[in-house]
Chains A and B, each alone.
Chain A
Amino acid sequence: MKIVRSSVLSLLLLSFVSASAFAQTRRLTGRVTVEGSGEPLVAASVNVVGTALGTYTDDQGRFSLNVPEASSTLRVRRIGYTQKTLLVPAGQTDLNISMARDVLQLETQVITGTATTVSSVNAANAVTVVSGEKLNRVPAQTVDYALQGKVPGALITQNNGAPGGGTQIQLRGVSTLNAGFQPLYVIDGVIVDNSTIGSGLNVISQASRTNFSSSQDQDVNRASDINPNDIESVQVLKGPSASSIYGSRGTNGVIIITTKQGAVGGKPSFDIVQRFGTARLANKLGLRCFSSAQEVVDAGYDSTGYGAATVKCHDYEQELYGEHPLNYQTLASLRGGTAAGTAYFISGTVQHDGGLTRNDNYNKQSLRVNLGQGFGSRFHARANLEGIHTLTARGISGNDNTGINPYTTFSQTPSFIELRRQPDGTFPRNPINSVGNSNPFQNAELIKTPSEVYRLLANAQGIYNLMARERQTLDFNLTGGLDTYSDHSEIISPATAYVEQVNALPGTVFVGNGNVANATLNASFNHHLIRDAFAATTSFGYGQVRRNVDVLTNTGRGVFPGVTNVASATQIFTSQNQVLTKSSSWFIQEEFLTLAERLLLTAGVNSERTSNNGDAQKYYAYPKFSASYRMPTPDAIDELKLRLAYGRAGNQPLTGKYTFLTNLIEEGVTGFRASTIKGEPNIKPETASETEGGFDLTFLTGRARLSFTQFRKQIDNLILSASVAPSTGFSTQTINGGQIVTHGTEIELNITPIQTGNFSWISGTTYASNKGKVTRLPVPGFIPASGSFGTRFGNAFTQQGQLVTVLQAINGCTALNSTGTSCPSANRVLTFMGNSAPDYTMGFSNDLIFGQFKVFSLFDWRKGGLGVNLTNNYFDLTTAQCGSTVNCSLSGDTTAAAARALAFAQGKAVYVENSGFVKLRELSLGYELPMAMTGKMFNGHASAARLEIGGRNLATWTKYTGLDPEVSNFGNQPLGRFQDVTPYPPSKTFFISLNATF
């Protein structure tokens, strides 16, 4: 029994066998080529329909296979090409097959379990698969940026413009209030961490007025370490109907990443990409200019220095954020296979992206080695290893209470004051005391904010073929992996900085060390049975996941200038946070394909227990059922598939099981007493059930495809805090209760309107909308634990009957005060302002190929949505507050600022703004160099070369008056993302790159 495997489709099980010696067979040979160009198609799978017999084409596109003597149907498949089924009559021994490019990417393999896949032709869920090529059309710093605009139903929002990433992905709306809210990331079957380790910015910004990190540190979530260039494809499971295989981690959706593998029998190919680029400030607020010293005095500022100033009006924003960094990225990868059955993919990346301010930057280096090896005919193993190193310096942005944030300084420093670095290397001291004499240019030079991550992603898989018959196979699959990283962050704010000198103990050092490890182990049996009437895949298995987090931080205040040792500080504060989570699960699944591969029925259940649950021994069941039917269609329609799926996933309680002891200090001694938050020893995971249905229609001879999906998701047992009687000694109790119901629609249309020899146009449009409502809440309405600044400005609110993403603010006054200039607090009207999430999102991508040129563009449109522009509040001062009759605001538009300040005092929610936008996310122009030039350039070694120029986030159209409607001062949080507080401004990036393949 010979088994041939290919590692092109690494995680999966297109397992073929050769015909047994007992059946009557003939030898069939042939060649598979690409339609049109006639190039050989490597590693295409060729199998006899109705059996497990099959093989793969070699690097000449040739295959050789023993097929039954009787007439047989052959199916040829390869990712990126439309599959072909053809009859091979008895007696034929040779044939040539040409495959058409799957321009609309209609066919992919959809992952349905730890070791099972299904063709997307039959798949019963609305799963989005983004190929690596589509992901990397225009370079992106991190994989979440690269996914923006490409996944309908995914709202991917940036937190701020600082280098290094930092986005939140919300799949099909908000799925929780108090439990985990991030989607799960899985790379090659292994769960990968996406937490955020605090960078410590709070110790100098004092956004939360403590001596430790806070949620306002403008941090980066760790999914940003993933290298987009190593990705073969990304599959997004958008909701519980698909993600129940991930149990209590699946509620928020799953992003499954498969990395590139080598190809046995393929010629080794070496790819090198060299990019250069730059970034530019994309938006400014505009600051006020003073035309005379008298004007300065009238506005209430000290005009000393105005006369002597050489520059009467500094454009501080341009001066500070006007860097033109030279960004570069070098990618090299080697891919191939040996005759001995080894497949390899080795890649390395070196990347440097500068920020908009001096000394802000993002650096990444990574090395990945993916190996696959067959041992004999029964055993195949794969091992992937990646080492990543990132060093990020994100500077100072976000909320502050010390004056250290540049926009805080700009809002209180008249623009004639010189702040830039002087020729002798010194910085002028900002005379404005209310911002702590902070000079943002000095801060950018002296204050260091490095964050360094060393990360190791390792996984291994072994597949052992226990039974290999012509129409039946049984495999044992063991996959294990580890994701571990150390995140070392420092904040070094020397005592020589002016902003430090106003502190009681000048000189601050913060050192944070986070160590995180996630280990996954999965073992499964997969049985594949092929009969004439049906093909059945049964799989069952067991998995374990273990997660360990340890974050230790030390903050030192009063540090000698020049010293960075935190132990030498006058006062030291320490904090530590440790988490250990263990979970294990059993699963069983049946996939039944019948009616001439038209009907696919799937049923499965995943039964899981986690140490975070009240009863750590109890298994919770997460079932899934789905059906898809490819209807018989008239000629005009190629494919019409109806699909319906139901699934349940869960969301683990993160805390809430225990009543902890809180510490209080008395005379320097730490004491403990029971927390006022009572734990729930029987806490259960939140359960999310989703029903999803839709259809996929392919028409115009494969040149158009329409997908339509509707879903209803219901989340029960929401983890909430209920108030209890204070006489029990507690103030709140964690409970399971409450329900959110979300409805949504996703539509995707891909067409190639024009496809002639030299010119083709591929267009894709996506539409997604969803609305979630809190349908049941057993406690009174409350402001969720997410960060916010109160109802005066606008915050999230959770109340039965309201949208889960509703924004509440004070907007109206029953009776103003006697002068009409302010609203007494008793008369303020609390209003629900509307939905903070967009009404709908649309993506427009267009590929135009003419000859050797290719133009690609991607527009991202978000309609509706509300944000709270608190940055404006920094600039808004009423004439009464100015203490003069002339406006003292330093905003570029003083009239608007004064009007806003008055309206705010009168009780209007002036800072709540429409945050909808259209952004040109990606634009690129590529030129495939002709062979003649390629030959000359690389001495004939290169097989292809391409030159590309392009950019990301090149244009934004929005009514939002702030720097960028995509913003979140509190980083990633389930609700209340929309707070804009003096963020890092957005940037547009440009690049030019040369790709060469050898």
Chain B
Amino acid sequence: MKRYTTIALAIGALALGACKDNPVANPIDAPTVDQLTGSLTRTSLLQITIGALAQDRTTINDVQFAIEGGIFGRDVYRIDASEPRYVTETLGGNPDPGSFAGGRGFAGFYTAIRAESNILLALATAPTTIFTPAEITAHRGFIRTMKAMEYWRLIETRDTVGTPIQTDDPAEVTDVRCKTAVLNYIAALLDSANADFASVPATTVLPVKLPSGFTAFGRDYSVVSNLIRFNRAWKGKVDFYRGLDRKAYNAALFPTAITELTQALGGAAPGAVAAADFQKGVWYVMVPGGSENQPNLISDAKIGLNPLAHDSVQAGDTRGNKIVARSVLSGNGISTTWTYTGAVASTANQALPLPMIRDEELVLLRAQAYIEAGQLANALLDINSVRTNYGLAPYAPFASKTAAIDAVLYEKRYSLLFEGWSRVDDLREYGRLNATYLRKELPTDPYNAALPLPRPELDARGISSNPACTP
């Protein structure tokens, strides 16, 4: 009997040891996505917000956005002896979806969108013991606005190719949506964000400390009152381009755009925006070196300015000071002796900030909206308020819509030189991205207006070229 007792005790000990074993070991090395929903704290909300914003910055601080937009807009050259595709796949041919020229500026934005969607999911379960409901709502509006901005960047670069709209399911690959559908989605998202802002006191401050690009450039955008202006700025821009869409021109949107842009400009009347406010807005602050390593990519010895951009500057325009002479940069059939001051390779230029959206652009967009809405006089006021700031004589009233468009395009070109894809957006939608208005840079110049879907996206869908978009 004693023997069997021993045996029984031993088995019991064995079983007991087995039961106490908890097989799960939670990851201790790094946080995981599962930990986002649950108990959000101020620190974790700050970190995931910074993560999304940093992802956005990384993506625009890349060839596709910072440089290629300028090349497609025929103001920028990048000539690299060891990488001829900067010319052959932009000005000399179509960008290859498998190369950097055609394949970038896509995945990064979708990673940012995923990050922003995760923040929205986390906010949905944020504890009200740590955050006030107003803070949660305000932050939600902010993230929605940022998310809408990511989609804007995707559609302005892909244009009629279209782009997919991501869902919350990480495994779902959605249809490629046509431009109108995407723009409508962006508009709806911006309006829902605005509704969030409207539902909280205008003095509400976001529960996180935003990077200095949001606070140090004349306006503190962590306050809801300024976030509304930020939101309306994007909505105005989006509504303007929705209206101007050459395939789906919609004049009804221009008055809406005017109202929104005016609200973004703090209610300023046409021509009443002070020159001191032109630089105010949201910027990307670049930090070269260290572990952050985000130098402004435009600071690059292989970048130059299309000589036409230098030659077309009107006499006396102080924006011409943005252009400096440089040693000859030539290759692949093009050459130049001019460059942008910020493109001169130097450590100071590597730390130059890039604008996300600022008042000068809004003034000119409003002018464009006035023109399309038939209010040429108001457009004149806004255009002149910009011109005169740069030492140019104000225009006399415009004789025609075309003359007004020519005028505003000139102002936009030199006010927003090296600031992204605006010029391409304009030339494209006004129908001027062709041989009638622009010289052929190379015999095989295809007048590229948009990028393709990148090769990994096509491969994942099992297709070899851009599909027909779903309306």
Residues of A bordering B, CB below 8 Å: 211, 464, 466-467, 474, 476, 521, 523, 525, 541-542, 544, 571, 573, 576-584, 586, 609-612, 616-617, 658-674, 676, 678-679, 723-731, 780
Does B54 lie at the interface of the complex (its beta carbon under 8 Å from any beta carbon of A)? yes
B166 engages A729 (CB within 8 Å) = yes
Given A666-B57, A666-B211, A674-B114, A660:B292 Cβ within 8 A: no
In the complex, which residues of chain B have a beta carbon less than 8 angstroms from the beta carbon of A728? 110, 114, 166, 170-173
Binding site for A on B (CB under 8 A): 3, 6-7, 10-11, 13-14, 17-18, 21-25, 27-36, 46-55, 57-58, 106-107, 110-115, 118, 163-164, 166, 170-174, 209, 211-212, 285, 287, 290-292, 454, 456-457, 459-461
- List the A side residues contacting B48 at CB < 8 Å: 661, 671-673
Contact B10 A525 (CB under 8 A): yes
How far is B23's CA from A719's CA once the two chains are assembled, in angstroms? 21
* B residues in contact with A673, CB < 8 Å: 48, 51-52, 54-55, 111-112, 114-115, 118
Known contacts A726-B106, A726-B107: A660-B173 contact under CB 8 Å: no
Compute how far the CA of A524 lies from the CA of B442 in the bound complex, rounded to whole angstroms: 80
Across chains A and B, which 5 residue pairs bring their CB atoms closest together, nearest first? A671-B50, A729-B114, A673-B51, A671-B51, A726-B107
**Pairwise interchain contact A542-B18, C-beta atoms closer than 8 A:** yes
CA distance A523 to B12 in the complex (A): 12
- Indicate which residue in A571, A659, A671, A731 contacts B47 across the interface (CB closer than 8 Å): A671
Query: In the complex the two chains form, is B291's CB within 8 Å of A665's CB?
Result: yes
**Chain A: CB-nearest residue to B116:** A673
Residues of B contacting A523 with CB < 8 Å? 13-14, 17
Is B50 a contact partner of A664 (Cβ separation < 8 A)?
Answer: yes
CB atoms of B23 and A727 under 8 A apart: no
Whether B33 contacts A724 by the Cβ 8 Å rule is: no
Contact A666 B50 (CB under 8 A): yes
Contact B33 A661 (CB under 8 A): yes
Complex CA distance for A303 and B112, rounded to whole angstroms: 57
A660 touches B27 (CB 8 A): yes
Cross-chain contact of A581 among B14, B22, B25, B171 (Cβ < 8 A): B25
Give chain A nearest CB distance to B27 CB in angstroms: 6
Docked pose: A571 CA to B293 CA in angstroms: 14
**In the complex, what residues of A have CB within 8 A of residue B6's CB?**
464, 466
Q: Which residues of A contact B11 (CB under 8 A)?
A: 525
Task: Tell me the complex Cα distance, A993–B403, Å.
Answer: 100
Cβ contact within 8 Å between A467 and B3: yes
Q: Please pick, from B30, B52, B456, the residue contacting A723 in the complex, using a CB distance under 8 A.
A: B456
**By the criterion CB–CB under 8 Å, are A669 and B50 in contact?**
yes
Chain B minimum-CB-distance residue to A725: B460
Whether A724 pairs with B23 at a CB distance below 8 angstroms is no
Q: Is the interface of A mostly helix, strand, loop or mixed?
A: strand
Contact A669 B211 (CB under 8 A): yes
A726 near B110 with CB under 8 A, answer: yes
- Name 21 interchain pairs, CB-CB below 8 A, sorted by A: A466-B3, A542-B18, A571-B290, A576-B29, A578-B29, A580-B25, A609-B23, A611-B25, A664-B51, A664-B54, A665-B292, A669-B211, A670-B47, A671-B53, A725-B164, A725-B456, A725-B457, A726-B107, A729-B110, A730-B111, A731-B456
User: How many Å from the CB of B25 to the closest CB on chain A?
Assistant: 4
With contact pairs A728-B172, A728-B173 given, residues A674 and B166 touching in the complex (Cβ less than 8 Å): no
CB–CB A664/B58 < 8 A: yes
Residues of B within 8 A of A571 (CB): 290
Besides A661-B51, A674-B115, A729-B166, 7 other CB < 8 A contacts? A466-B10, A525-B10, A580-B28, A584-B18, A611-B25, A674-B111, A726-B454
A616 and B49 within 8 A (CB) = no
Residues of chain A contacted by B10 (CB below 8 angstroms)? 464, 466, 476, 525
> Bound complex: CA of A678 vs CA of B118, how far in Å?
14
A576, A617, A727: the one contacting B174 at CB < 8 Å is A727
A581: chain B residues within 8 A (beta carbon):
25
Chain B hits for A544, CB < 8 A: 17, 21
Nearest-neighbor residue (CB-CB) of B174 within chain A: A727
Q: A726's contact among B25, B30, B209, B456, by CB below 8 Å, is which?
A: B456
Question: A474 vs B36: C-alpha distance in the bound complex, in angstroms?
Answer: 53
A525 — which chain B residues lie within 8 A by C-beta? Answer: 10-11
Minimum distance in angstroms from B3 CB to a CB of chain A:
6
- Provide the residues of chain B in CB contact with A474, threshold 8 Å: 7
Q: Which residue, B23, B47, B53, B58, has most C-beta atoms of chain A within 10 A?
A: B23
Q: A664-B51, A671-B47 are in contact. Are A582 and B174 (CB under 8 A)?
A: no
How far does the Cβ of B192 sit from chain A's closest Cβ, in whole Å? 21
8 Å CB contact of B461 from A466, A579, A725 = A725
A659 to B115, CA, bound (A): 12
What separation, in Å, do the CA atoms of A21 and B57 have in the docked complex?
Answer: 88
Which of A466, A616, A665 touches B23 (beta carbons < 8 Å)?
A: A616
**CB of B92 to closest CB in A, whole Å:** 15
Q: Contacts of A610 on B, CB cut-off 8 Å? A: 23
Residue in A211, A521, A571, A660 whose Cβ sees the most chain B Cβ within 10 Å:
A660
**Taking the nearest CB of chain B, how far is it from the CB of A553, in angstroms?**
14
Report how far A729 CA is from B171 CA in the complex, Å.
10
Q: Across the interface, which residues of A come within 8 angstroms of B211, CB to CB?
A: 666-667, 669
Residues of chain B lying within 8 A (CB to CB) of residue A729: 110-111, 113-115, 166, 170
Closest residue on chain A to residue B31 by CB atoms: A661
- Please indicate the chain A residues that have their CB under 8 angstroms from the CB of B461 in the complex: 725
- With contacts A726-B110, A726-B456, A727-B173 taken as known, whether A616 is within 8 angstroms of B24 at the C-beta atoms is yes
CB distance from B320 to the nearest CB of A (A): 33
A-chain residues with CB within 8 Å of residue B107 when the two chains form the complex: 676, 726, 731
Nearest-Cβ distance from residue B96 to partner chain A, whole angstroms: 12
For A521, the closest partner residue in chain B by CB is B17
- Could you say which residues of chain A place their CB within 8 Å of the CB of B31? 660-661, 672
Contacts of B34 in A (CB 8 A): 658-659
CB proximity of A462 to chain B, nearest CB, Å: 11
Complex interface: chain B residues within 8 A of A725 (CB)? 164, 173, 456-457, 460-461
Min Cβ gap A843→B in Å is: 42
CA distance A542 to B6 in the complex (A): 18
User: For the complex, what is the distance from the CA of A704 to the CA of B207, rounded to whole Å?
Assistant: 82
In the complex, which of the residues B7, B47, B171, B291 contacts A211, with contact meaning CB atoms closer than 8 Å? B291
Residue numbers in B under 8 Å from A542 (CB-CB): 14, 17-18
List residues of chain B with CB within 8 A of the CB of A611.
Answer: 23-25
Chain B's closest residue to A619 (CB) is: B23
Would you give the shortest CB distance from B388 to chain A, in whole angstroms? 36
B291 to A573, Cβ gap below 8 A? Answer: yes
- B46: chain A residues within 8 A (beta carbon): 669, 671
Q: Are the CB atoms of A674 and B33 closer together than 8 Å?
A: yes
Could you tell me the distance in whole angstroms from the C-beta of B435 to the nearest C-beta in chain A? Answer: 29
Q: Is the CB of B25 within 8 A of A616?
A: yes
Do A727 and B164 touch (CB < 8 A)?
yes
CA distance A399 to B453 in the complex (A): 38
One of B17, B164, B292 near A666 (C-beta < 8 A): B292
Residue in chain B with minimal CB distance to A722: B460
Given A723-B460, A729-B166, A666:B3 Cβ within 8 A: no
Inside 8 A of B170's CB, which chain A residues have their CB? 659, 678, 728-730
Tell whether, in the assembled complex, residue B21 and residue A724 are in contact, meaning their CB atoms are under 8 Å apart.
no
> CA separation between A433 and B405, bound complex, in Å?
57
A119 → chain B, closest Cβ, in Å? Answer: 28
CA distance A583 to B34 in the complex (A): 22
**What residues of chain A lie closer than 8 Å to B172, measured between beta carbons?**
728
In the complex, chain A residues whose CB is within 8 Å of the CB of B171? 728
Q: Closest chain B residue to A666 by CB distance?
A: B54
CA–CA, A659 and B30, complex, Å: 10
Question: Please, which residue of chain A has its CB at the minimum distance from the CB of B22?
Answer: A582
Residue of B3, B30, B49, B460 near A671 (CB, 8 A) is B49
The CA-CA distance from A542 to B29 in the complex, in Å, is 29
* A612 / chain B contacts, CB cutoff of 8 Å: 25
**Who on chain A is nearest to B164 by CB?**
A727
- Report which of A576, A662, A670, A730 forms a contact with B50, defined as CB distance below 8 A: A670
In the complex, A464 Cα to B7 Cα: how many Å?
10
Q: Are B166 and A584 in contact (CB under 8 A)?
A: no
Q: Complex: how many Å from CA A663 to CA B106?
A: 20
